[in-house]
Amino acid sequence: MDAKLRLRCPKCRAIDWSRDGFTMAVDINGELHPLRVTPADSARDDTARWTCERCGYQPPDDDDLAEHLTEMEAQARR
């Protein structure tokens, strides 16, 4: 299964997420771009929820989608 399919918002089908200074979106060519938009040394809020920037949906913390988003964030930090 394509990893990008697991990252789609269940409400609007977008891949356009943000959480605590970190964004993850797909560009017009279908490329996934995880990006930290605040300095890496700034205080992180691990309790912040992922939010779809297109429709405002927030998956529950124990949802597979939230887990997949967090995994992608961790991979991008490496």
**pLDDT tens digits, one per residue of 50-65:** 999 999 999 998 999 9
| Cα separation, 76 vs 49, whole angstroms | 18
Regarding pTM above 0.75, the answer is yes
What does the pLDDT average to over 27-43?
Answer: 71
Distances (CA, A) of 42 to 18, 20, 30, 38, 57: 16, 10, 30, 7, 25
pLDDT at 34 over 70: yes
> Residue 27 sits in which domain range?
3-40+48-77
Could you give the number of structural domains in the chain?
A: 1
Q: Which amino acid is at 10?
A: P
Residue 43 in tokens? 């205080």
Residues contacting 10, CB < 8 A, separation 6+:
57, 59, 65
